[in-house]
Structure 1
Amino acid sequence: QEQIMQLAQKLAGYTLSEADLMRRAMGKKKREEMALHEEKFVNGAVERGIKKDKAEKIFSLMAKFSDYGFPRSHAVAYAYLAFQTAYLKAHFPEHFYAAVLSSEAQDAAKVFKYSKELRAQGINLLPPDVNESYSGFTPLTGAIRYGLAAIKGLGQATVNSVIEARKAGPFKSFFDFTERLAQGLNKRVLEGLVGAGAFDSLKSDSRELHEWRCALHNSIDAALARAQRAKRERMQGQNGLFGSAFEDGDQVEQPLSTGVSWTRSQLLLAEKAALGFYITGHPLGSYVDLLQTSKAVKSIELPNLTSGVRVSIGGIISDLQPRTTKKGDRFALLRLEDEAGGTKCVLWPETYRKYSTMIENELPVLVTGRLELGEDSPPSVIVDQVQCLDAILKARELVVLRVPQAPDPAELFDSILHLINTHSGNCELMLETAVDRDLLVRVKVSSTLRVERSEKLETALRKVGCKLSVEKMSLASGGV
């Protein structure tokens, strides 16, 4: 197309804008406009010493070329790019996906989509790391390191500061990071980094990952305060006789704050808040056996089923949207997410009234209903039953109570019965006692006596010499 424009300019005296108009007319096959341009082109060429029949032949060649040249030139370019892309994806998958993920870093849904492709090819997507990550995603051998710029709440200026600060050496601790990077840090930035797992490589003790990230989260305020003190001291030059308390090499490491630890689910929720999806696992991982026993299908399997069949799906509630019908009745739309993707679910007024107080975002549930498949729309489920997965699991717990030999068994059992009645619940109860050194006897308690396991119950039982433990009942032994 550029050559057509150059011919019009050099042979017929077209201006650049006039040549562009002729190019458009040829490219879009506008015959009336092309006829006008033919006259203009031939006259302009004749004025510049080209014979009329030669000018007409040149224009005819250009017009004929436009019939095939314009679309085919695009086809060649696209085919060449497609070949290059396919070659990179086949032979350098880590580099290919790192580039794709970097270009889509702000779209969590697309990052999640490509992360599934990575896992299918045996490539790990590693969490971001303050000592190893760069702005974009970094290709490694058999893995890709998450980019800092893809963490929610981190601006490019903060990312650049992290990369610049570690040129002086890797960050040794959480407090070392906050003191060396006082510029641009705030609570939201640190919450994003902690939630994303960017400090996991600094863990040097035996704490579980959810305990570690929780301790970091609880230490954010203290770390920011300490960083500000260090910054003020450096600015004021208050080194004193023995130097700064925050001087490199002499710094006394502050312990992380303690408190109630996160659960595994809380870790994953913080991860999703920071990255837009789960990277180190999925909340449904704790319910695999339960979902299999319940014959739950996965979202990826729904398109292969028959519209109208009754299905059960396990997932995490997201994007819960209560709405109102024209008649004023309340209903709800929600998205149910599993490891493979998500499914649109509809709770019409009767069902919504039944479960409205129970359902909420991030709740793991098992929904049952009618599958709807459309030609031009993704699968959806008209829900008529919702069950909380944690409640199902808890109902399947078997509480085992180890009862010691007692001088007055009747008094002991009266105390135990009182505690069972005080802490009644849904868990079945089994009593266990040692007949001799090598023989344990278990007796199942009446199904009318069920307990709710709690720290208070365990403490009270220990006071009367009993020990409580929990076992999972076989899910195959009964219905859910």
Structure 2
Amino acid sequence: SAGMQKHLRALKPDKFADLIAMNALYRPGPLKYIPNFIARKNGEEEITYDLPEMEEYLAETYGISVYQEQVMRLSQKLAGFTKGEADVLRKAMGKKIFALLAKLKPKFLGGCEKNGHDLEIAEKIWSDWEEFAEYAFNKSHSTCYSVVAFQTGYLKANYPAEYMASVMTHNMNDIKKVTFFMDECRRMGMQVLGPDVNESQFKFAVNDKGEVRFGLGAIKGVGEGAVEAIINERKEGGKFNSIFDLTKRIDLRAANKKALESLAISGAFDSFEDSHRAQYFHDDGSGPFLEKAIKFGAGFQAAENSSQVSLFGEASDVQLPEPHVPVCEKWGNIQELKAEKEVVGVYISGHPLNDFDLVMKRFCNIHLGVLETEEAKKNPGEYKFAGIITAVQHRMTKTNKPWGFFEIEDKHGSMEFRLFGEDYTKFRQYLDVEFFLYIRGVWKERRWGGNKADEVPAEKEFKLNSVELLNDILENKTNSITITMPLKEVQPENISELKTFLNDNPGNCKVNLRVIDKKGTWVDMHSKNFRIKPEQQLIYDIQDQLGLEVKLK
């Protein structure tokens, strides 16, 4: 976690015992001792012991009691507890049996006094232990966790692609976790490629370029038998060069029509030259193209199996004409991504909201991954976020009043909203699947059912203040754009190229050109009549292709 990373950077661990201690301390309760632990480790705070005899068992944790085992050994050394009595003390602490601790206290104090220790100091030690009982942790458990954490941390740092492929494989049936780890891959600068019949394995794997490739086994409708048929034939006969080559070579009983449809939808055939996903489902009146390809492959295999060796001992070649590949329009980006998610459960090749990155960066102040957290609910301010509607239902109450709910998601999470009364009437026009929305609202307390009795705990609901179509936000909320051009680049050809970009996007937004010299002195030139439509692609093109800075206002 980010918190553990922060503390470990401050701690600067140089031995494994430091990791074990941090694992035990990083929990509710002992968290408060972490600053002292770090300060003592780094020599910024004096290491002290209530009794010199305690150093033997507390030295590795810089004088701070961290483990149950330390208390067990100290009870034996200071108060003469037997191993059995020390274990009873451990159980009392581990299970937080405070009545049993109260019974053990007189024995501990008496034993300390008998061994010549100051009774007042013994009282303090026991008092500390009583508090320690609330968070006492077993060192052997913490050691196991630390070993695993260290090993996985090493693998993630030194073999990132292989590690992430393994993690996603082990969570292949939990699509939320797969999505989380795909986001982590992107954060690490690692590309996760979609499924490909010419490269994918059954599980997530790493290709020759060090990229993570989606596993064919993660595609809905593609069974293990179909994947084995594809991979085994690929190993034996090499990569497939077309859908016809695929259907001619693989076992079509194992890889049936449903499996091949799912593969086509997921993009597993995208590596075939001059092909796209829409073609496989194009129907010219004689059936979808994919069905024709399957029939062709089945026919080829049947003819090959029944062909006879000629009189001169030469095998006769099977020659069947390949079906005509249809010419049709490609699926749009949204349609392709939607189909992709249906069979895989996640967006792989992109995200529907990618076209709104600029809008969300400028006009949103939260994402759905954190909107429902307790920290977010405590903030009285207005939240602004964007997303795509994935589910909608319109219903009637028992009193015959309309209400509805919708689910909206962004790149980080999803959330469901329920609308009643005026809110439903006001925002109903926006409740449609695949609508891109920009929403503003606040968390407010509400006592459900109208019961304001003190015993009914107050819950919070997210109150929508406004809903707008995300497509309109950039244009509606941008009055002007300022393009900064270095003085040395103010050349006729550069101005002409910039003008071409702007002329292709007429609209109502003002354009300012800022010319700046090496000293940082600048002058703004405002266009009186020239207006454009601010669009994300235009802004990115000016930045990426012309290398100019663009600011929106």
Taking structure 1 as the reference length, what is the TM-score of the superposition? 0.60
Residue 101 of structure 1: how far off its partner (Å): 0.4
Question: Is 1:388 aligned to 2:464, yes or no?
Answer: no
Deviates more, 1:358-367 or 1:106-115: 358-367
Question: Is 1:316 aligned to 2:388, yes or no?
Answer: yes
Given residue 280 of structure 2, which amino acid in structure 1 is its aligned partner? L
Given residue 139 of structure 1, which amino acid in structure 2 is its aligned partner? V
Q: Write the deviation string for residues 96-152 of structure 1: whole angstroms up to 9, x where unpaired.
A: 211110011121111000011111111111111111111111134542111111111
2:404 to 329, 332, 339: 332
C-alpha distance in 2, partners of 1:294/1:353? 26
Question: Is 1:288 aligned to 2:337, yes or no?
Answer: no
Q: 1:175 to 1:299 in 2, by over 3 A?
A: same
CA contact (8 A) 1:122 1:142 kept: no
**Correspondence for 1:189:** 259
CA contact (8 A) 1:291 1:314 kept: yes
**Correspondence for 1:119:** 186
CA contact (8 A) 1:345 1:383 kept: no
SS at match of 2:463: strand
**Correspondence for 1:100:** 167
Residue 317 of structure 1: how far off its partner (Å): 1.1
SS at match of 1:200: coil
SS at match of 2:437: strand
Given residue 144 of structure 1, which amino acid in structure 2 is its aligned partner? V
Q: Write the deviation string for residues 423-446 of structure 1: whole angstroms up to 9, x where unpaired.
A: xxxxxxxxxxxxxxxxxxx9xx9x
Q: Write the deviation string for residues 237-278 of structure 1: whole angstroms up to 9, x where unpaired.
A: 4899963225xxxxx554422234311111111111121111
Counterparts of 1:215-234 in structure 2, within 5 Å, are: 215-218=279-282, 219-234=289-304
Residue 155 of structure 1: how far off its partner (Å): 1.2
Given residue 282 of structure 1, which amino acid in structure 2 is its aligned partner? H
**Correspondence for 2:246:** 177
C-alpha distance in 2, partners of 1:162/1:77? 40
**Correspondence for 2:325:** 256
1:274 to 337, 343, 358: 343
Given residue 243 of structure 1, which amino acid in structure 2 is its aligned partner? D
Q: 1:77 to 1:109 in 2, by over 3 A?
A: same
Residue 179 of structure 1: how far off its partner (Å): 2.5
Counterparts of 1:422-437 in structure 2, within 5 Å, are: none
Residue 282 of structure 1: how far off its partner (Å): 1.1
CA contact (8 A) 1:296 1:314 kept: no
Question: Is 1:200 aligned to 2:281, yes or no?
Answer: no
Given residue 388 of structure 1, which amino acid in structure 2 is its aligned partner? L
C-alpha distance in 2, partners of 1:343/1:117? 21
Given residue 387 of structure 1, which amino acid in structure 2 is its aligned partner? E
Residue 289 of structure 1: how far off its partner (Å): 4.0
Question: How big is the alpha-carbon RMSD for the aligned residues of Structure 1 and Structure 2?
Answer: 4.1
Q: Write the deviation string for residues 364-394 of structure 1: whole angstroms up to 9, x where unpaired.
A: 22233334599x9999743354333357789
Q: Write the deviation string for residues 166-207 of structure 1: whole angstroms up to 9, x where unpaired.
A: 12211111121123222233343223212222122223x4x7
**Correspondence for 1:91:** 158
**Correspondence for 1:132:** 199
Q: 1:188 to 1:115 in 2, by over 3 A?
A: same
Residue 314 of structure 1: how far off its partner (Å): 1.4
How many residues are aligned here?
A: 337
Q: 1:257 to 1:475 in 2, by over 3 A?
A: closer
Q: 1:80 to 1:193 in 2, by over 3 A?
A: same
CA contact (8 A) 1:130 1:199 kept: yes
**Correspondence for 1:22:** none
C-alpha distance in 2, partners of 1:283/1:378? 33
Q: 1:475 to 1:151 in 2, by over 3 A?
A: closer
Q: 1:174 to 1:381 in 2, by over 3 A?
A: farther
- Which segments of 5 or more consecutive residues in structure 2 lack a partner in the other structure? 1-81, 95-137, 283-288, 447-456, 478-502, 509-530, 537-551
Question: Is 1:144 aligned to 2:225, yes or no?
Answer: no
SS at match of 1:115: helix
Taking structure 2 as the reference length, what is the TM-score of the superposition? 0.52
- Which structure is higher in RCO with an 8 Å CA cutoff and minimum separation 6? 1
CA contact (8 A) 1:192 1:274 kept: yes
**Correspondence for 1:154:** 222
- Which segments of 5 or more consecutive residues in structure 1 lack a partner in the other structure? 1-59, 247-251, 397-441, 448-470
CA contact (8 A) 2:474 2:535 kept: no
Q: 1:176 to 1:311 in 2, by over 3 A?
A: same
SS at match of 1:101: helix
